[in-house]
């Protein structure tokens, strides 16, 4: 059975994402202003709600553990309110790391520590080039210098 407390927390977080959708792609200053006006009161109310609900739960309760987890990291969770450059979700970071997770088993067999270091350098170069929209031919020229 789903916990009414968990459902309420999810609804409140959904409301934050509803605020984020229309400001996605706007300037950092615009995003910060909207977040201060619309998101901050919701985040403050969520914080109070979570403390109130946590007080009603036993220490070993799974939901209590989840609430403790976010409350211990509250400062990190709320960074997005004061900095319009920060995203509410970490989806972009997780997408960037997906390739690392998929290739992890293959990289165990680089052949040597030196081979692993070269693979790490190449991966760093490729990801940095992608993030900076460097074309394929420039990446090939730079990768030749590393080998």
Residues 72 and 134 grouped into a single domain: no
Q: What is the pLDDT of residue 92?
A: 73
Q: How many domains does the chain have?
A: 2
What digits encode the pLDDT tens for the residues 37-93? 999 999 999 999 999 999 999 989 999 999 999 999 999 999 999 999 999 887 777
Residues 77 and 12 grouped into a single domain: yes
Q: Is the pTM of this model over 0.75?
A: no
Residue with the bigger pLDDT between 103 and 142: it is 103
Residue 119 contacts residue 111 (beta carbons within 8 Å): no
Domain closes at, from 82, 103, 123: 82
Q: What is the pLDDT of residue 132?
A: 79
H or E element, residue 1: none
- SS3 of 104-142: the string is HHHHCCCCCHHHHHHHHHHHHHHHHHHHCCCCHHHHHHH
Residues 21 and 51 grouped into a single domain: yes
How many percent of the chain have pLDDT more than 70? Answer: 81
Domain closes at, from 32, 59, 82: 82
Residues 113 and 134 grouped into a single domain: yes
What angle, 0 to 180 degrees and rounded to 10, lies between the N-to-C axes of helices 113-131 and 136-146? 150
Q: Is the pLDDT of residue 143 over 70?
A: no
With CA atoms as reference, report the closest residue to 38 among 4, 88, 93, 74: 88
């Amino acid at each position: 059975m789903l916990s009414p407390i968990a459902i309420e927390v999810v609804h409140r977080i959904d409301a934050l994402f509803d605020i984020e959708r229309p400001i996605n792609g706007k300037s950092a200053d615009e995003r910060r202003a909207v977040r201060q006006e619309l998101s901050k009161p919701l985040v403050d109310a969520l914080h109070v709600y979570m403390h109130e609900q946590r007080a009603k739960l036993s220490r070993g309760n799974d939901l209590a553990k989840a609430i403790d987890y976010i409350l211990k990291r509250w400062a990190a969770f709320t960074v997005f309110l004061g900095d319009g450059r920060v995203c509410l979700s970490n989806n972009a970071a997780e997408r960037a790391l997906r390739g690392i997770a998929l290739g992890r088993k293959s990289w165990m067999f680089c052949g040597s520590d030196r081979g692993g270091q070269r693979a790490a350098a190449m991966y760093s170069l490729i990801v940095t080039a992608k993030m900076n929209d460097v074309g394929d031919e420039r990446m090939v020229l730079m990768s030749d210098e590393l080998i």
